[in-house]
A and B are shown apart, each in its own frame.
Chain A
Amino acid sequence: MVALQTLIDGLILGGVFSLAAVGFSLIFGVLGIVNLTHGIFVVAGAYIALLLWSGLGLDPLVGIPVIMVVLFATGYVYQRTIIQWATERATVVASLLVTFGVALVMRNILQLIFSSDIRSISPSYSFVSFSLGDLRIDAVRVAGLTTSLVLLTVLTLFLSRTSFGRMIRATAQQPLAAGLSGINVPHVYGLTFALGAAFAGASGAVIGIVAPFSPATEAIWTLNAFVVVVLGGVGSPAGALLGGLLLGVINTMTAQYIGPSFTNATMFLVLVLMLLVRPQGLMGNAFGESR
């Protein structure tokens, strides 16, 4: 029973991790950019959800489309300007430094606007739980998990079924060939980045209802995304889902059987071991030619 409860806790937690990492994974897979601004998108999503909730009384989960639109636009502009300039002038790796710099700027701006006080969003269902036999499951996390699954499914269908999804995949595999076939590669890069940002923002709404946040929490979400991507594989929603669920289960199992203070240590230990054993992640790189 304890093991089952631990497993369920882990899966529920993992659903949130998955959604929070899929944007990072997509951007990394298609553009090859390690986006250190990722956590900022997540936290920004949470703050927008907070504004919608406190200002308009909009439920954070209902507000997700609004958040996604805002972050989509932001992400597009950001990629087409700063990141594109950086990759043109310097290298893709230099974009790492640029995103680091922007993350500092943005964290500071969030701090100036919202202060560094801890915030949380408490819709009516945040405190509800239900029992299945001896199992105890809290509703808000289930809502988070469900939202994650829905959004990840939408993204999967989007990438596999739409012509735009095909363009993204083509660009990820062979930018040059894609360009020659008439795809506007910079535009696709911009849109992919925007998509990644939008999903990060959506996860922020979910995180906002399950955990307290402040501008400084952005770093944790960037780190978590690293681990999820390494566990699951790059570029695909399925990889992110698998990686996220695994991370969640590792987290709770460690807390149960090794000790709660070792959760972060195990998480990163698994990251390192995974890299050594299977660097392309369990699901491999979604965009062909793994290393």
Chain B
Amino acid sequence: MRPLSLKPLLALVVGVAAVAVFTGLPAILPPFYIRVLQVFFFSAGLALSWGLLGGFAGYWSFGHTAFIGIGGFTAALVSSHLLGGGGTGWGMVVTVGAGGLVAALFALVLAYPLLRLRGIYFAIAMLGVGEVFSELSSSIDWIGGGLGLTLPAGTDLDIAPEVFYYYVFLVLMVAILLISAATKLSRFGYGLMSIREDEDTARMLGVPTERYKIQAFVLSAFLVGTLGAVYAYSLGYFSTPSLFRVDFSLNMIVHNMIGGIGTIAGPVIGAAIMVFLTNVVLGSFLSVHLLLTGALVVLIVLLAPTGLLGLAARLWQRDPPEEEPTSPTRERERRLTNEPAE
């Protein structure tokens, strides 16, 4: 620990510069790339939100797509039932906020029973939760996921929709990035990481593990629900399979693992790489893009098992940056699968 670290300052400068660049980009980029970046912001936001619970506290959720769905459906139901089909401009703030809040509310109800499960059992339970909400959303006629729901345009300003959602997702991602960074540096964050390393010891040492886990889960769900609501807006019309997608859940994990689990920059880097590859590089393929995407995922795990940040740290061989996932994580992950310690 150096007394006066330059890293936060550097991160701030890079961050501000990046935001400035991204703010200006729509003026010069063609719409396709604006949409690719929009997908990137969305995915990075999801991956960061997942990381609050999965990365920091080590509770891997396989079913976070549930909150995307809850957010999106809530927004559309609020729009059609309470706002008479409205929900443009400030109305969108209301519906999207409602989406996030209802997702958080569901998470709060689910948190206590679910978070007693550890490791792979929590992961599978969340997978189940995702499927339950997915099926219910399409089977219950009142919700209407079978026929699908529509949302109005998000804004009546004279601005192309892709540019509008570009900025909305950009703002959300930056906000989530700041929330993640603040969490990581806070007492709360250290508490979560202590849970990841050894939950029982943490509790013995006085970390309110129960409360911290629930808070992280609810916060994560709120952010994902908010993103989901905006995503639903960006589609305009959606049905159950638009929002409840197992690949959303898996991508959140993939993006974290590719960048580096438990880090701030990792999920963003992971999302950037995967979104660029799947949409730009492999975009026009008619039938081999799954194969290439899959091969790439395998390759990355084999070549950079601690994520690209971990790989970078090893390659440079300098003092490992504090963001590198450390060995206790591996310890924790081994416990996840019930493997006896060596």
Contacts and interface: CB of A to CB of B under 8 A. Distances in A.
B338 A32 contact: yes
Interface string A80-95: 0010011001111110
A89 B302 contact: yes
Contacts of A85: 302
A275 B337 contact: no
A93 B60 contact: yes
A100 B250 contact: yes
Interface stretch (A13-21, A68-76, A194-202, A257-265): A257-265
Nearest to B130: A268
A219 B249 CA distance: 14
Contact of A101 (B127, B294, B306): B294
Given A271-B128, A272-B125, A276-B117, A94 B291 contact: no
Contacts of B306: 90
A104 interface: yes
A176 B342 contact: yes
B132 interface: yes
B333 A93 contact: yes
A101 B295 contact: yes
B284 to A, nearest CB: 16
A275 B128 contact: yes
B124 interface: yes
B14 interface: no
Contacts of B290: 104-105, 107-108, 111
A161 interface: no
Interface string B291-334: 10111111001100110000000000000000000000010011
B296 A230 contact: no
A100 B297 contact: yes
B113 A276 contact: yes
A249 interface: no
Nearest to B306: A90
Contacts of A112: 287-288, 291
B336 interface: yes
B339 interface: yes
B340 A275 contact: no
Interface in B98-131: 113-114, 116-118, 120-121, 123-125, 127-129, 131
A54 to B, nearest CB: 23
A53 interface: no
B139 interface: yes
Contact of B128 (A90, A98, A109, A272): A272
B253 A97 contact: yes
A175 interface: yes
Interface residues of A, number: 50
Residue in A100, A264, A272 with the greatest tally of chain B CB atoms within 10 Å = A272
Interface in B127-143: 127-129, 131-132, 135-136, 138-139
Contacts of A102: 294, 298
Given A93-B333, A104-B294, A279 B305 contact: no
B294 A226 contact: no
A93 B139 contact: no
Interface in A215-267: 219, 223, 226-227, 230, 259, 261-262, 264-265, 267
B293 A104 contact: yes
A275 B298 contact: no
A174 interface: yes
Contacts of A230: 124, 128
B4 to A, nearest CB: 35
Given A107-B290, A264-B131, A279 B117 contact: yes
Contact of B305 (A34, A91, A96, A291): A91
Nearest to A227: B128
B168 interface: no
B174 interface: no
A104 B246 CA distance: 13
Contacts of A93: 60, 333, 336-337
A267 B132 CA distance: 8
Contacts of B113: 276
Contacts of B170: none
A107 B121 CA distance: 27
A92 B336 contact: yes
A32 B114 contact: no
A33 interface: yes
A98 B297 CA distance: 7
Contact of B291 (A33, A86, A105, A223): A105
A227 B293 CA distance: 27
Nearest to A82: B298
Given A108-B294, A226-B124, A268 B305 contact: no
Interface of B: 60, 113-114, 116-118, 120-121, 123-125, 127-129, 131-132, 135-136, 138-139, 246, 250, 253-254, 257, 287-291, 293-298, 301-302, 305-306, 330, 333-334, 336-340, 342
Given A105-B290, A176-B342, 8 more contacts: A32-B338, A92-B339, A94-B301, A98-B297, A265-B139, A268-B131, A275-B128, A291-B121
17 contacts: A91-B305, A91-B330, A97-B297, A100-B250, A101-B297, A101-B301, A102-B294, A104-B290, A174-B340, A265-B131, A268-B132, A271-B124, A271-B125, A275-B117, A275-B121, A275-B125, A276-B116
Leading 3 A-B pairs by shortest Cβ distance:
A104-B294, A90-B305, A101-B297
Interface of A: 32-34, 82, 85-86, 89-94, 96-98, 100-109, 111-112, 174-176, 219, 223, 226-227, 230, 259, 261-262, 264-265, 267-269, 271-272, 275-276, 279, 285, 291
